[in-house]
Amino acid sequence: MTKILCAIDDTEHSLPAIDVAAKLAESLDAELTLLAVNQLVGGYGRGGAPTLIWARDEIERALSNAVGEAQKGGVSKVKAVNLESRDLAQAITGYAEQNGYEHIVVGTGGKGAVSRLMLGSVSRDVVQRAHCPVTVAR
């Protein structure tokens, strides 16, 4: 296993996922990519243009913090990627498959509007759609 993808958001539920992904990447000397998906909402029909959940500085801060956490875990090959999509699970699994990732790590436990990525339904959908093994970190 040489490429691991870890989906993150701006909640504390990302921390266990980053920790598990960093340990896995470090032990295998694998490349770790931290992926944040900025969800597009609204803009259906005559409802106007779609809006992104995160502001640019929020997503950059979340990714920067995640990279720092992964590096604290000993990972030397780490990069950050941000995508925009309406369907979070599809964005995660599609990116993983298109870019040859061999393992996906996601967090779970978030609830409510503040938890933008790691809602139980997203992690469940990632497990169901993924072309590769998925670890769900609590």
Residue position matching structure tokens 């369907």: 87
**In this structure, what token pair is assigned to residue 86?**
């309406």
> Mind listing the domains of the chain with CATH numbers?
3-137 (3.40.50.620)
* pTM score of the predicted model: 0.89
HSE value, Cβ hemisphere, 13 Å, CA-based, for 79: 6
Among 45-49, 58-62, 99-103, 120-124, the least confident range: 45-49
Asked if the model's pLDDT at residue 47 lies above 90, the reply is no
- Per residue in 113-133, pLDDT (tens digit) is 444 444 458 999 999 999 999
Percent of the chain with pLDDT over 70: 90
pLDDT at position 78 over 50: yes
- Run of H or E residues at 67: helix 56-72
**Cα three-residue angle 100-94-83, rounded to 5 degrees:** 105
